[in-house]
Amino acid sequence: MPAFAGMSGRDNRRNGAICDCPRVAWEGAWAGQAARQTKAPKNLFCIIPAGVRIGYSGSDKIITGAAIPMTALDQHLDNIAHDGFTLVEDVLSSDEADALAADLDRIERELGTAPACNPFEGHHTLRVYNLLAHGKLWEAIPVHPRVLPIIEGVLDDGCLVSSLSSVKILPGERAQPLHTDDQLIPIARPHTACVCNSMWALTDFTEQNGATRVVPGSHTRDHAPDFGTDYDSVAVEMKKGSVLVWNGSLWHGGGANATDAPRIGIPMNYCAGWLRQQENQQLGIPRDVARGFSPRLRALVGYGVYRDLIGHVDKRSPDFLLGDSDGALTSVWDQ
């Protein structure tokens, strides 16, 4: 299979055989020239795994993906380190994506969701926040074994759910201003990754319907974009069921939807265990709901401690507040 003409010198075939799943690579369009409003090229090679890493199993019935293979994990982490993003394909089956989209319709109806009508959230975009409070189906997303290991590789396994929401870009929406997801965090750039986010495609994402646009490599810049300024970017097209993962410092934004159908995406966002979550998970998710979460999901939403200290309640893990654990903790001070 021919390599994409503009690819960098990295050899994406190391450690394994070549298969034909598309890997988003951008250098040809981007580093070359004329990157503005250019689609990320596809049909590049990726790795057929040699090893298997055990991941956390999801708590939900419908989502049953196997753990992410180790060499693929390395490749994804390499992509994020180098480009600022990576694409994980076929995470959800078509039926799984449809089930989530149908449940989202239900939630939007129940909440009477309407566009926020501001330049960031859009005038023709429906957004629902705090999805973990709105139904069991959503509990499988934060712990998915094909994606969580990548997040843990960028942050660490003490990472937290920062927010779980939806972005349904309706026909006629304009492109969202480019931004970074760690833009409000007042530390000098570039910095160690403290936010790592993902976009789950519940419909195909195309340049025409508003696929997420990224500025490859921008996670290493020493500044964030100026709000509302036009920058060169590429659209990351992906099939329904795929997941785009990026370093929170990457410049990106939703695209314009020039079609007559919605583009439905689920931003599943994580932050470091030492950072405040964007959506307050402990107050926003009723305790009765959190009590039904798997142990891993409980820890991810904040019923745990980071490095045996951060987040403790009276030197106990806050898990005891859910009632079925004593929260026993050997704090870092006691070690």
153, 248, 254, 304: which one contacts ligand AKG (CB under 6 A)?
254
The interface region with ligand AKG, picked from 27-35, 75-83, 227-235, 251-259 by CB under 6 A, is 251-259
- Which among 227, 226, 249 is positioned nearest to 180, based on CA atoms? 249
164 binds ligand AKG (CB under 6 A): no
- Of residues 72 and 236, the one with the C-beta less far from ligand AKG: 236
Beta-bridged to residue 265, according to DSSP, are 167, 201
Nearest to 167, CA basis, from 200, 199, 126 = 126
Cα–Cα dist 77/24, whole Å: 14
| Stretch of 35-43, 73-81, 95-103, 246-254 lying at the interface with ligand AKG (CB under 6 A) | 246-254
Asked if 242 and 87 touch (Cβ cutoff 8 Å), the reply is: yes
**Size of the residue set binding ligand AKG (CB under 6 A):** 9
Smallest gap from Cβ 118 to ligand AKG, in A, equals 11
Within the chain, strands assigned E span 18-19, 38-39, 46-47, 85-88, 125-128, 160-164, 166-169, 195-201, 213-215, 234-235, 243-247, 251-253, 263-271
Shortest Å, Cβ 240 to ligand AKG: 14
For position 278 contacting ligand AKG by CB under 6 A, the verdict is no
Nearest to 158 by CA among 56, 333, 300: 300
- Residue pair 29/18 in contact (Cβ under 8 Å)? The answer is no
CB distance 138 to 132 below 8 Å: yes
Nearest distance from C-beta of residue 322 to ligand AKG, angstroms: 30
For the CB of residue 185, give the shortest distance to ligand AKG in the complex, in Å: 14
The residue behind tokens 């994020």 is 80
Bridge-based pairing state of the strands 125-128 and 166-169: antiparallel
C-alpha–C-alpha distance, residues 311 and 250, integer Å: 28
253 binds ligand AKG (CB under 6 A): yes
Between 208 and 331, name the residue whose CB sits nearer to ligand AKG: 208
Question: How far separated are the first and last CA of the chain, in Å rounded?
Answer: 54
167 near ligand AKG (CB under 6 A): yes
Q: Rule CB under 6 A: say whether 248 interacts with ligand AKG.
A: no
Shortest gap between Cβ of 51 and ligand AKG (angstroms)? Answer: 32
By C-beta, is 150 or 235 nearer to ligand AKG? 235
Helix locations, the chain, DSSP H: 27-30, 70-83, 94-111, 148-154, 281-284, 287-291, 295-301
Query: Between 147 and 329, whose beta carbon lies closer to ligand AKG?
Result: 147
- The 91-130 site mask, x for binding ligand AKG (CB under 6 A), equals ----------------------------------------
Contact 298, 319 (CB under 8 A): yes
Is omega for the bond preceding 190 within 30 degrees of 0, making it cis?
yes
Candidate list 23, 134, 144, 252; residue touching ligand AKG; CB under 6 A: 252
Query: Taking CB positions, which residue lies at the least distance from ligand AKG?
Result: 254
Closest CA relative to residue 149, chosen from 61, 244, 54 = 54
Sole window of 56-64, 140-148, 151-159, 249-257 interacting with ligand AKG (rule: CB under 6 A): 249-257
Residue 168: closest CA among 128, 118, 228: 128
Segment 17-56, which members bind ligand AKG (CB under 6 A)?
none
Assess 199 for contact with ligand AKG (CB under 6 A). yes
Residues 204-243 binding ligand AKG (CB under 6 A) are: 212
- Out of 265, 273, 304, 327, point to the residue binding ligand AKG (CB under 6 A): 265
CB closer to ligand AKG out of 162 and 317: 162
Q: Which is nearer to ligand AKG, 176 or 218 (CB)?
A: 176
Residues at the site binding ligand AKG, with contacts judged by CB under 6 A: 167, 176, 199, 212, 252-254, 265, 267
